[in-house]
Structure 1
Amino acid sequence: MITTNRVKRLLPILSPLIAIASALLVGAILILCARANPIVAYTALFQESLSTYFGLGNTLTKMTPLLFASLGVLVALRAGQFNIGGEGQIYLGALGSTLIGLYVQGLPALIHIPLSLLAGFLLGAIWGWIPGYLKAMRGVNEVITTLLLNYIAVNLVSYLVQNPLKAPAAPSPYSPLIAKSAQLPIILPGSLAHAGILLALIAAGILWVLLVRSPLGYQISAVGFNPNAARYAGISVQRTIMLVMALAGGLAGLAGGTEVMGLKFRLFEQVSPGYGFDAIAIAFLSRGSVFGVLLTSLFFAALRSGANVMQRSAGVPVTVVYAIQGLAVLFIAISLAVERRINID
């Protein structure tokens, strides 16, 4: 017999799975409304994105920025901060890696690649630290500042690729190609998958150790649970908030850096198709778990990767995929409300 305590323990694991399953079920209804077969549509979507060589490579490519950015949202959430600025941090990270890839020449790849990644991380970290400083020292709501900084970052990159960074005779706004020595190697020959996914997995492992096995992770969690109690225990709440927001921005910056270094090899006006906003949904679906972020990032990447194939094979609009993503977030919000009610009872 399942006891109430066991149900409470299983809810954090089951609720994301139930949310995704519910979203797919409602998505199937939407597919039926479009006069298509849900089984055919979902088979085409997931078979293409996960079981074919090129499709898997494409999924891993899309998973890379999603994983980096969602880890940034996750680490901020652990400290009770809402990093809505992942999109802008991605743009700044892409800019940092591009500048090193363009203007630092003559280095071997063993030095050039880490240097470019570091530049992407640092610019993203600065863009995350700004709202962290404003929150910690001035009490300014980080949701507002991170959201507004998105627009500044996007328009800054837009200006740069239309003017000083624009490639000569380019038909549309983009920079010249970065140096070969700054480009990430392909890990699945003949596909788009690059070494960025390996770096993202390493980052996830390091972040797990940091959050779960280190004194700093305890401080971050303490600030997230109860800032007043953490302050009473001698933890600097202000310093922790600034550090966490800088780390969150740096991780999102790596998402932009690896997009430039591993996929596009130049800075485009539209660096990200909304990865920073998808990362918010992924972090909430993962329920604060690094492992959950890995799985949910893979799920979202598979949806993006197989969407066009689903449209061609089953005649289902790509917008159904975005509806499924939104429904998953809606259902996880409902599950959180139900879980809170169960805990109260």
Structure 2
Amino acid sequence: MLTLINRLLPLLSPLIAIASALIVGAILMLIAGANPITAYSILFQESLSTYFGFGNTLTKMTPLLFASLGVLVALRAGQFNVGGEGQIYLGALGSTLIGLYVQGLPALIHIPLALLAGFFFGAVWGWIPGYLKAIRGVNEVITTLLLNYIAVNLVSYLVQNPLMATGAPSPYSPLIAKTSRLPIILPQSLAHAGILLALIAAAILWVLLVRSPLGYQITAVGFNPIAARYAHISVERTIMLVMASAGGLAGLAGSCEVMGLKYRLFEQVSPGYGFDAIAIAFLSRGSVVGVVLTSLFFAALRSGANVMQRSAGVPITVVYVIQGFMVLFIAISFAVEREIRVKTQRGAKV
């Protein structure tokens, strides 16, 4: 019986965490005097079943998916990338610079070049803590977290000074060139081609992690770096590679925000996508497909929150409470799963 539960928990625990968080959200709605069934119906109908709402959901899903993939690839190598927010800001900066200062290129060249710059800026920001961890032994959680503040304040300084648009009432850059903007995929909506790029990135990452020797090396380093060394796998190089890749993927999230949605660099590039990505990656339990589905779910929550507030009288903050409880419940599930595994191992020895 314990063995069966042990096998089912990785599949059931994310669903249980989501359901439990939604139940807590419903209780809060009842306390506030709102009808949770009506509120949830409005939230998910607006975000998933209406044309404009679904377009908005896809728009929010794009940065969430890119940043979550970045957290996931780092986790596969046993690294905790909590610097997605800063990497998003650096990626947005890189694409903005190409969109502003590289002119006269056709869109077929300008768009990939701007995306490449965003990936490169984010990758450098991810490589720095990877290098410090691999070569100097510095904890990557501390360095990635601290680099978030540097990136946010760097972008803030730039859009308030050298990059600030002439006569702008608030800190933001001039518009990037039209040839560097991502095309809209759903007419008269906000949905742009960034979501297609994010899904392609997810597919490539799945093949890389599951079907390639490099994926085996990354997984081996994550499971047991000592054994990986005996297998002649360079642990240091693998750590730097995955952290740079994680930063590059998060950087593409910032690129798509600039190139597909805002068309300029704002002081507040991200409303916290980098931190949501951590929750998404943990809820997905290391699965690329799970990251795609969970990113869609989180995007739907964000997309429908405003309509839920207007129509059902439920504050937007309830959505953030639900997300927070998801993280709490998945953490509890990890502890329960570990305890069950210990009991299973003891039973097998007996």
TM-score (norm 1): 0.99
1:236-315 equivalence runs, <5 A: 236-315=234-313
1:126-165 equivalence runs, <5 A: 126-165=124-163
- What is the aligned partner in structure 1 of residue 91 from structure 2? 93
- What is the aligned partner in structure 1 of residue 174 from structure 2? 176
Which of residues 212, 228, 231 in structure 1 aligns to 2:229? 231
In structure 1, C-alpha distance between the alignment counterparts of 2:152 and 2:95, rounded to whole Å: 16
In structure 2, C-alpha distance between the alignment counterparts of 1:126 and 1:149, rounded to whole Å: 11
Deviation at 1:321, TM superposition (A): 0.3
In structure 2, C-alpha distance between the alignment counterparts of 1:167 and 1:124, rounded to whole Å: 24
- What is the aligned partner in structure 1 of residue 216 from structure 2? 218
In structure 2, C-alpha distance between the alignment counterparts of 1:203 and 1:252, rounded to whole Å: 11
AA aligned to 1:112 is H
In structure 2, C-alpha distance between the alignment counterparts of 1:242 and 1:80, rounded to whole Å: 12
Q: How many residues align?
A: 343
AA aligned to 2:135 is M
In structure 2, C-alpha distance between the alignment counterparts of 1:257 and 1:13, rounded to whole Å: 33
In structure 2, C-alpha distance between the alignment counterparts of 1:89 and 1:187, rounded to whole Å: 26
Deviation at 1:312, TM superposition (A): 0.7
Deviation at 1:241, TM superposition (A): 0.2
Which of residues 164, 178, 194 in structure 1 aligns to 2:192? 194
Deviation at 1:10, TM superposition (A): 1.6
AA aligned to 1:26 is V
Deviation at 1:13, TM superposition (A): 1.0
Deviation at 1:5, TM superposition (A): 2.6
Deviation at 1:234, TM superposition (A): 0.3
Stretches (4+) displaced over 6 A: none
- What is the aligned partner in structure 1 of residue 347 from structure 2? none
AA aligned to 1:275 is Y
- What is the aligned partner in structure 2 of residue 325 from structure 1? 323
Deviation at 1:42, TM superposition (A): 0.3
CA deviation profile, 1:46-98 (whole Å, cap 9, x unmatched): 00000000000000000000000000000000000000100000000000000
TM-score (norm 2): 0.97
CA deviation profile, 1:112-147 (whole Å, cap 9, x unmatched): 000000000000000000000000000000000000
- What is the aligned partner in structure 2 of residue 118 from structure 1? 116
Structure 2 unmatched runs, 5+:
344-350
Give identity over the alignment, percent: 86
Deviation at 1:222, TM superposition (A): 0.4
- What is the aligned partner in structure 2 of residue 15 from structure 1? 13
SS of the counterpart of 1:22?
A: helix
CA deviation profile, 1:257-277 (whole Å, cap 9, x unmatched): 000000000000000000000
In structure 1, C-alpha distance between the alignment counterparts of 2:338 and 2:146, rounded to whole Å: 31
Which of residues 327, 337, 340 in structure 2 aligns to 1:339? 337
